[in-house]
Amino acid sequence: MGVLECLNHNSGDKFDTDYVRQAKELSTTLGHALVKLEVEEIESKIRDTEHAIHSAGTIDEILLELQQPILQLFDSGLITIYAVDEIRNEIYSKVKSGEQINKIRVPISTKSISGCVALTKSPVNISDVYNSEELKRYHPELTFDNSWDKKTGLRTKSMLVYPLLQGESLMGVMQLVNKKRGDRFTDCDERNAKIISQTLALAFFNQQKIARQKRTKFGFLVESGIISQDELNEAIGKARKNRIDIEAVLLSDLKLKRKELGKSLELYYSIPYQGFSDSIVLPQSNFSGLNKNYLAKNNWVPLQNDEENTVVLIDDPTDKDRIQNIQMIFPKKKLDLKVGLKTDIREFLLSAMTEDEAKSETADEIRTEEMSSLLNALEDEKAEIVDSSQEEDESNAISETDSTIVRLVNKILTDAYDQGISDIHLEPGTGKKPVKVRFRKDGTCRIYQEIPHLYKQAIISRIKIMSKLDIAERRLPQDGKIKMKYGRKAIEYRVATCPTVGGNEDAVLRILAASKPIPLDKMNFSKRNLEIIKDKSSKPYGLILVVGPTGSGKTTTLHSCLGHINTPELKIWTAEDPVEITQEGLRQVQMLNKIGLDFARAMKSFLRGDPDVIMVGEMRDSETCAIGLEASLTGHLVFSTLHTNSAPETITRLLDMGMNPLNFADALLLIIAQRLVRTLCKECKEDYHPTKKEFDTLVQEYGKEDFPKLGIEYTDELTLKKPVGCAACNETGYAGRTGLHECLDGTDDIKRMIMQKSMVEDLRKQAIKDGMTTLKQDGIYKIFKGDCDLKQVLSVCIV
């Protein structure tokens, strides 16, 4: 406890044995007195500390304000007090650095000493944390996390860690680091640590109990240390200011997980939380007699609806009016409620929609509501940018990793998929003009949204990150792909970026959504074309080509042909780039040019794979053409595509690419040329009687000599269809597309002309003589069917 020192005897003599004896007795007495005083001082400090702990208003106050007073009880260099976050299975503490509060989070596991104490609920007293043998005495898998030592340059040596237990419940952990005097913490330190840990545990328990009694909707998030009260207040203010949902702000700005927000709602309402899961499939019978638009506006959805029970997911289970309405809709049934976020409810509704419903106004309204919230959030961030004197500074003010930008880009991608869009165009304006986002649907572009110019660089950079492109390279075009899971579906986007004037970059995304083949009978082929396609597709060997420009539906037609012959008796290999349509029974191979897997190499492999049928996505070069021709001549049925304008032109193109005329003529079964034309909206198209002049124009376009074959005459009863415009077609009068086809049969006469290398026009005349109708003729036939009008046919057909 100390040292007694006696100097200079009054007599000048040395200290005799009596003095030594008296000094020894006095030192013992003083030692006992000092021990008693130290114990009293420690006990007093403990009482003061206990009082301070129990007087604290919140757990945050204990974590931030009381760690240093507790440290004074121990001869220690550092103290950390942790509380428990049950959702994340972590312990956490808070440290104040200036005005900023930083969180420390440690998983409850054996990867750290404090985490292991939380896991085992047993204290540890370690003299050297780097001594693995000493650590293993407490737990065989215990390791010391030295990341803090590496970060600060300090060295941790001794450690005393106690769990904060209230009964069997873990409330937190107290950690003392580096005993200042001595190699390890003493038994006295252990006793004091046990007393303080019990006090802290009781205080944490009482604080949680009080919080539960006066719990607010999002109070659990603050109690658990997931967010602070100031952060919650700021989020509430932003939501009110921008008239958007507080849940959206918490999820986007504070990066909360849905299950954390759901847990808070669950505790507040005392009702189980149910988040959206793509593994939960809602049957259409759940929605019998229900309007999904009504459900979306009232924020509830039936998760289960059988003869006796109904389970409803709702955002506010205390809304008596809505609950009464639900009870009236489901009378005489046991009603169980679950609470969910509005975004969960919207996703359940969207996932339960049929294909037609997904294109409806209801689905659009749900998506529009989310987009409005995002744009409002962007406007709020825009207002916070103080220095906007230079355009470059403005465009860099928002990061591509900003939560609102991430959600906005995801929203654009998913909306495009939901609306059946083929291409997304992101076009930043020059100067301070907005970013135009255009969607191409049915071959026509329309403006989907305009986004303030401040975010043009962040949006393009976000697209680049998702497609694994170089965000620093803005001078050269780049190509990539985005793979995205949306609900139960996997969607792929082909991305192309290109620099444009004003230091901007455009991005174009082609949606490559996996889909199923359309049966041949539903492809809107004419009777003759359908019969010849079915006949030629059933041949044991030969070559069938589908030709047309990009985006004309060639792959769809090929897969419809393959679907017609896809049986267990046939082995069918396909080489595709990309695989857009999947079929059970087909062995489909995705091309990977980066590693040298191209069409030619895939076809060589197929020939060694015992094929009956081979489909190659495109005959791009002479090598692929040669291999395809060889396969078709050696007992295999080969399907492929080519970019040509018409069926007869395909023959001359392939001969120019080096195909042997004799072999090509021998192998050719059929060439299908096609275009996609916009169809009249089924909801609003109207009948009308054409004038004689209009009828004569159609006859002239079809060809006067061939028109009588249609068996159509001009009479007073003749009716055609015309576009009108309604909400379903966005007031355009057109919705969807159908194919126009010309099928060139590989007849003996055509084969003879191929061997003679005849001219295109001669081939066309012979094909028509053999029964082929041209693209334009097929289009005019479909005008009389009521599918489309002359304007749309002429827009895709030249001859």
Give 170-223 pLDDT, tens digit per residue: 999 999 999 887 778 888 889 888 988 898 898 888 887 776 666 688 888 888
Instruction: Identify the CA nearest to 401 among candidates 252, 247, 509.
Output: 252
The token pair at 406 is: 């991430």
Q: Are residues 155 and 46 in the same domain?
A: no
703 within domain boundaries = no
In which residue are the tokens 């079929």 written?
A: 583
For the cut 50, the answer to whether the pLDDT of residue 28 exceeds it is yes
338 or 75: which leads in pLDDT:
338
180 or 164: which leads in pLDDT:
164
Q: Are residues 757 and 623 in the same domain?
A: yes
H or E, element range at 457: helix 456-466
293 within domain boundaries = no
Q: Which residues contact 81 (CB under 8 A, 6 or more apart)?
A: 62, 63, 66, 67, 70, 93, 172, 173, 174, 175, 200
Q: Exposure pattern of 694-714 as b/e (b: 16+ CB <10 Å)?
A: ebeebbebbeeeebeeeebee
What is the pLDDT, as a whole number, of residue 297?
84
Q: 636-678: per-residue pLDDT in tens?
A: 999 999 999 999 999 999 999 889 999 999 999 999 999 999 9
785 within domain boundaries = no
DSSP per position, 173-211: EEEEEEESSSSS--HHHHHHHHHHHHHHHHHHHHHHHHH
419 or 124: which leads in pLDDT:
124
Q: Are residues 123 and 29 in the same domain?
A: no
What is the pLDDT, as a whole number, of residue 136?
92
The token pair at 489 is: 């579906």
What is the pLDDT, as a whole number, of residue 37?
64
Q: Are residues 313 and 436 in the same domain?
A: no
The token pair at 403 is: 């939560």
Q: Considering 494, 511, 528, which residue would you say is the last residue of a domain?
A: 511
Helix axes of 622-633 and 599-607: crossing angle, nearest 10 degrees = 20
CB 674 within 8 A of CB 740: yes
Query: Mean pLDDT across the stretch 149-172?
Result: 90
Q: Are residues 33 and 153 in the same domain?
A: no
111 within domain boundaries = yes
| Cα–Cα distance measured from residue 680 to residue 783, given in angstroms and rounded to the nearest whole number | 10
719 within domain boundaries = no
| Cα–Cα distance measured from residue 587 to residue 571, given in angstroms and rounded to the nearest whole number | 8
Instruction: Name which of 25-34, 104-113, 154-163, 763-772 the model is least confident about.
Output: 25-34
For the cut 70, the answer to whether the pLDDT of residue 392 exceeds it is no
CB 158 within 8 A of CB 183: yes
- Burial class of 524 by CB neighbour count within 10 A (0 to 12, 13 to 18, 19+): middle
- Burial class of 51 by CB neighbour count within 10 A (0 to 12, 13 to 18, 19+): exposed
Q: Are residues 182 and 222 in the same domain?
A: no
113 within domain boundaries = yes
Q: Are residues 600 and 503 in the same domain?
A: no
Beta strands in 181-333 (DSSP E): 300-305, 309-314
Question: Dihedral sign, CA of 792, 794, 795, 799?
Answer: positive
Number of domains in the chain: 6
CB 721 within 8 A of CB 680: yes
* pTM, to two decimals: 0.57
At 499, is the pLDDT very low, low, confident or very high (cuts 50, 70, 90)?
very high
At 385, is the pLDDT very low, low, confident or very high (cuts 50, 70, 90)?
very low
213 or 117: which leads in pLDDT:
117
What is the pLDDT, as a whole number, of residue 565?
96
Q: Considering 447, 482, 511, which residue would you say is the last residue of a domain?
A: 511
727 within domain boundaries = no
Q: Are residues 649 and 753 in the same domain?
A: yes
User: What are the CA-CA distances from residue 432 to residues 388, 435, 447, 448, 500 (Å)?
Assistant: 11, 9, 18, 19, 15
Q: Considering 511, 533, 550, which residue would you say is the last residue of a domain?
A: 511
| Cα–Cα distance measured from residue 159 to residue 474, given in angstroms and rounded to the nearest whole number | 53
What is the pLDDT, as a whole number, of residue 328?
87
CATH of the domain at 466: 3.30.450.90
Q: Report, in angstroms and rounded to the nearest whole number, the Rg of the chain calculated over CA atoms.
A: 39
Q: Are residues 203 and 244 in the same domain?
A: no
CB 641 within 8 A of CB 624: no
Query: Mean pLDDT across the stretch 222-228?
Result: 84
Q: Are residues 380 and 446 in the same domain?
A: yes
Give how far the C-alpha of residue 347 lies from the chain's centroid of Cα atoms, to the nearest Å.
13
| Cα–Cα distance measured from residue 742 to residue 768, given in angstroms and rounded to the nearest whole number | 10
Cβ count near 46 (within 10 Å): 16
What is the pLDDT, as a whole number, of residue 57?
66
| Cα–Cα distance measured from residue 608 to residue 616, given in angstroms and rounded to the nearest whole number | 15
| Cα–Cα distance measured from residue 704 to residue 696, given in angstroms and rounded to the nearest whole number | 9
What is the pLDDT, as a whole number, of residue 799?
61
At 377, is the pLDDT very low, low, confident or very high (cuts 50, 70, 90)?
low
Query: Mean pLDDT across the stretch 319-341?
Result: 87
| Cα–Cα distance measured from residue 794 to residue 779, given in angstroms and rounded to the nearest whole number | 9
Q: Are residues 160 and 259 in the same domain?
A: no
CB 572 within 8 A of CB 611: yes
Query: Mean pLDDT across the stretch 608-614?
Result: 94
What is the pLDDT, as a whole number, of residue 386?
39
User: What are the CA-CA distances from residue 745 to residues 219, 221, 643, 748, 782 (Å)?
Assistant: 74, 71, 19, 9, 21
Domain limits for position 157? 57-208
312-320 contacts at long range (C-beta below 8 A, 24 or more positions apart): 312/336, 312/337, 312/338, 313/274, 313/337, 313/338, 313/339, 313/340, 313/344, 313/345, 313/348, 314/338, 314/339, 314/340, 314/345, 315/339, 315/340, 315/341, 315/342, 315/345, 317/269, 317/271, 318/269
The token pair at 679 is: 């169809």
688 within domain boundaries = no
Amino acid at 642: L
What is the pLDDT, as a whole number, of residue 271?
86
For the cut 60, the answer to whether the pLDDT of residue 450 exceeds it is yes
DSSP per position, 578-645: S--B--TTEEEEE-BGGGTB-HHHHHHHHHTS--SEEEES---SHHHHHHHHHHHHTT-EEEEEE--S
226 or 750: which leads in pLDDT:
750
DSSP per position, 104-173: EEEESSTTSHHHHHHHH---EEES-TT-HHHHHTT-TT----THHHHHH------EEEEEEEETTEEEEE
CB 388 within 8 A of CB 394: yes
For the cut 70, the answer to whether the pLDDT of residue 724 exceeds it is yes
CATH of the domain at 673: 3.40.50.300
What is the pLDDT, as a whole number, of residue 374?
58
In sequence order, the β-bridge partners of residue 447 are: 438
Cβ count near 337 (within 10 Å): 19
For the cut 90, the answer to whether the pLDDT of residue 79 exceeds it is no
| Cα–Cα distance measured from residue 417 to residue 565, given in angstroms and rounded to the nearest whole number | 30
Q: Are residues 388 and 500 in the same domain?
A: yes
In sequence order, the β-bridge partners of residue 490 are: 485
| Cα–Cα distance measured from residue 30 to residue 252, given in angstroms and rounded to the nearest whole number | 65
Share above pLDDT 70 across residues of the chain, in percent, rounded to a whole number: 88
Share above pLDDT 90 across residues of the chain, in percent, rounded to a whole number: 44
28 or 229: which leads in pLDDT:
229
At 358, is the pLDDT very low, low, confident or very high (cuts 50, 70, 90)?
low
The token pair at 663 is: 């072999």
